[in-house]
Amino acid sequence: MYDFVIVGGGSAGSSLANRLSADPSNRVLVLEAGRPDYRFDVFIHMPAALMFPIGNRFYDWKYESEPEPHMNGRRVYHARGKVLGGSSSINGMIFQRGNPLDYERWAADPGMADWDFAHCLPYFKRMEDTLAAAPDDEYRGHDGPLVLERGPATNPLFAAFFEAVQQAGHPLTTDVNGARQEGFAAFDRNVHRGRRLSASQAYLRPVRGRPNLDVRCRATVSRLLVDGHRVTGVEYARPGRRHERVTAGEVILCGGAFNSPQLLQVSGIGAADHLRSVGVRPLHDLPGVGEHMQDHLEVYVQHASTQPVSLNPLLQWRHRPWIGLQWLARRGPGASNHFEAGGFLRSNDDDAYPNLMFHFLPIAVRYDGSAPAGGHGYQVHIGPMYSDARGSVRITSPDARVKPALRFNYLSTAQDRREWVEAIRHARHILGQPAFAPFDGGEISPGPDVASDEDVLAWVARDGETALHPSCTCRMGVDDQSVLDPRTMRVHGLNG
């Protein structure tokens, strides 16, 4: 028997395993369905190789949405990390807190008073070792396991970008995670000494030798073991073995926005009518499980560059051996994620705080490395952060190996569509400033033919991609649509 069984070795699971196993009297088991994050795996650990795990079945669970009704019936691809560290082992490595007013908004909801920014800030600081922050910076931490390096942003296109945002009337800031988050600056990144610093590398690897910590990879949990109103353990499977059961004092679900609600549902915890419809016997009727899903959609506004200063040569195979050799020495273009700068602004004066997110990249290429624009270029990744569109995660089978149905309802609300039009207008305004004149070879995507508001929305529907930030499917609160008690983080109505 274990004191704690943690289902999922991603961002949350890795940090919890570290903290709980720090008490030698606790026996802790981590069950991760994906592979280990081997030390020699260049596709995980080289920051510039971030495009390779996306869409690769060895690293990525390769989810797709159901046909999105407001995006021409498209199925939107969703990458999820199939490896220890979860999606922190395959993502873009930008470290970004929410805006302080996000947490004040949380705290205004019934039962959520302890989730305001003042309560959250000490925990943010505790996780960080922010190398670029001053020792007396009251907003940043210096002793945590997660080392954060500031993007160097030395490519001349970054200088043009920073000048352009000011010409467009927007401020610079010194730290988008600091005292003033509104504005543009170099990003904090989960990169340390030229290597990706995933949650697994920061939290799990340093403590894997603890005798009270057991980490099992390729271990897929099939269901929770429930006795009345108490979860007593889990059932799981590993390749070539029969199903195993393990009992636990507490089971902690860290499967992320897709798999945590899925596991609850296949275990009989969720909306009773839906569970019956897919052949699962309801054990605990909790209608909010898997509902209220939110995500960030994004597009890329791309320009050609008239000067050969972009990262385009990195896409050519003939350069990759040299990039790899440099990376082994922890330097060169392989040692950066290249998402080194960006910022946040308000789409209009009615917004209380920034609702648009910008990432600048000195190359014109898609996030997964596909469809390069050709030649030198640069781009802004842009998208609204607070869409009021809501989706769901719902199982279609009692079998946990069958992927659930994902519905996001992108572009389904008037607010969402309005903010998208405003977002593209702001991106084009910035990229059209005089600072870019020495480089500007014209807009590649969406292109000058996309001019009206209707054209913009049609392009977003056709070309938009997820920014890989799904959330809220096991939301905290005290109303009948909430799943977690905000005081204890336990599932409402259950113990264990």
What burial class does residue 354 get, using C-beta atoms within 10 Å of its C-beta: 0-12 exposed, 13-18 middle, 19+ buried?
A: buried
Q: What tokens appear for 135 in the block?
A: 């020792």
How much of the chain, in percent, has pLDDT values that exceed 70?
Answer: 98
Measured at the CA of 76, the angle between CA 380 and CA 385, to 5 degrees, comes to 45
pLDDT over threshold 80, residue 490:
yes
Task: Give, rounded to a whole angstrom, the gap between the first and last alpha carbons of the chain.
Answer: 13
pLDDT digits (tens, 9 = 90+) for 161-175: 999 999 999 999 999
Work out the pLDDT band at 285, boundaries 50, 70, 90.
very high
What distance in Å separates the CA atoms of residue 22 and residue 20, rounded to the nearest whole number? 5
pLDDT over threshold 80, residue 315:
no
Active-site positions read: 469
Q: Which of 34, 61, 64, 33 is nearest to 405 (CA)?
A: 64
Which pLDDT value is given to residue 450?
97
pLDDT digits (tens, 9 = 90+) for 40-50: 999 999 999 99
Indicate the helix (H) or strand (E) that contains 465.
strand 465-466
Query: What is the mean pLDDT of the segment spanning 53-78?
Result: 98
Neighbours of 41 (CB within 10 A): 17
> Do the Cβ atoms of 153 and 143 come closer than 8 Å?
no
pTM of this prediction? Answer: 0.96
What burial class does residue 234 get, using C-beta atoms within 10 Å of its C-beta: 0-12 exposed, 13-18 middle, 19+ buried?
A: buried
pLDDT digits (tens, 9 = 90+) for 189-211: 999 999 999 999 999 999 999 99
> Do the Cβ atoms of 67 and 74 come closer than 8 Å?
yes
In the block, which residue shows the tokens 């690897």? 205
Under 8 Å CB-to-CB from 387, ≥6 apart: which residues? 294, 295, 296, 297, 410, 413, 415, 416, 419
Which pLDDT value is given to residue 371?
46
What distance in Å separates the CA atoms of residue 386 and residue 419, rounded to the nearest whole number? 9
What distance in Å separates the CA atoms of residue 296 and residue 60, rounded to the nearest whole number? 19
Structural domains of the chain, with CATH: 151-189+295-396+408-469 (3.30.410.40)
What distance in Å separates the CA atoms of residue 79 and residue 364, rounded to the nearest whole number? 21
Which pLDDT value is given to residue 343?
98
Which pLDDT value is given to residue 6?
99
Work out the pLDDT band at 312, boundaries 50, 70, 90.
confident
Q: What tokens appear for 132 in the block?
A: 């670029």
Strand-pairing partners, residue 407, are: 392
> Do the Cβ atoms of 71 and 184 come closer than 8 Å?
no
What distance in Å separates the CA atoms of residue 466 and residue 494, rounded to the nearest whole number? 33
Before 206, cis peptide (omega within 30)? Answer: no
Top pLDDT among 240 and 346 is at: 346
Q: What tokens appear for 195 in the block?
A: 């290597």
* 70 backbone dihedrals φ, ψ, rounded to 5°: -100, 10
Work out the pLDDT band at 220, boundaries 50, 70, 90.
very high
Under 8 Å CB-to-CB from 413, ≥6 apart: which residues? 387, 388, 389
Q: Where are the beta strands (DSSP E) in 172-315?
A: 183-186, 188-189, 191-192, 195-196, 213-216, 220-227, 230-237, 244-253, 269-270, 284-285, 291-293, 297-305
Query: What is the mean pLDDT of the segment spanning 291-314?
Result: 93
pLDDT over threshold 80, residue 445:
yes
Q: Where are the beta strands (DSSP E) in 154-241?
A: 183-186, 188-189, 191-192, 195-196, 213-216, 220-227, 230-237
Alpha helix (H) residue ranges in 267-370: 272-277, 320-328
What distance in Å separates the CA atoms of residue 135 and residue 257, rounded to the nearest whole number? 35
What distance in Å separates the CA atoms of residue 281 and residue 272, rounded to the nearest whole number? 8
Task: Output the CA–CA distances (angstroms, integers) from residue 149 to 83, 125, 146, 153, 206, in the order listed.
Answer: 23, 15, 10, 12, 19
The SS3 assignment for 453 reads helix
Q: What tokens appear for 425 in the block?
A: 């207008």
Strands 94-95 and 188-189, bridge-based pairing:
antiparallel
Q: Cα torsion for 482, 7, 9, 130, to the nearest 10°?
A: 40
pLDDT digits (tens, 9 = 90+) for 331-383: 899 999 999 999 999 999 888 999 999 999 999 887 655 545 568 999 999 99
Query: What is the mean pLDDT of the segment spanning 298-325?
Result: 87
pLDDT over threshold 80, residue 448:
yes
How much of the chain, in percent, has pLDDT values that exceed 90?
Answer: 90
Work out the pLDDT band at 214, boundaries 50, 70, 90.
very high
Q: Which of 152, 279, 213, 296 is nearest to 24 (CA)?
A: 213
Q: Which of 236-240, 272-276, 411-415, 424-428 has the lowest mean pLDDT?
A: 236-240
Averaged pLDDT score across all residues of the chain: 95
Neighbours of 302 (CB within 10 A): 23
pLDDT over threshold 90, residue 142:
yes
What distance in Å separates the CA atoms of residue 442 and residue 426, rounded to the nearest whole number? 17
Which pLDDT value is given to residue 242?
83
In the block, which residue shows the tokens 């926005």? 257
